[in-house]
Amino acid sequence: MNSAEVLEKYKSVLFKAKIVSVIAIIFAIPKLFIGFTSYTTFLGISSNVALLLFTLGFVPYIVFFYSYWKCPSCNKFPGSGWARKECQHCHVMLKE
């Protein structure tokens, strides 16, 4: 796989990771609001429903990051952080 293909595939992985992260954060907002305030509901959502939403948001997040957050070249976890420019295993450039 050449460098341009690796960059393009990793760009796609980053885009999908951002979407999954935004969805997880949106689903977590009611539980975080209820947890850090004295309110028992958030826009009509009870604490139990907020916990369910939190779980429904973060299970796909965790599955995505363990299953799909991989280097396109070596197919291993490239390392932590959004700003990673090269894979920690094969040292291929992931971003320009």
Query: 28 vs 1, 2, 23, 65, CA distance in Å?
Result: 38, 39, 9, 17
pTM of the predicted protein model: 0.76
- pLDDT score, position 25: 92
Question: Are 45 and 30 contacting, i.e. CB atoms less than 8 angstroms apart?
Answer: yes
Length of the chain: 96
Give pLDDT tens digits along the chain (96 positions).
788 888 899 899 889 888 999 999 999 999 888 888 888 888 888 888 988 999 999 998 999 888 888 888 888 888 777 778 888 888 888 888
- pLDDT score, position 81: 76
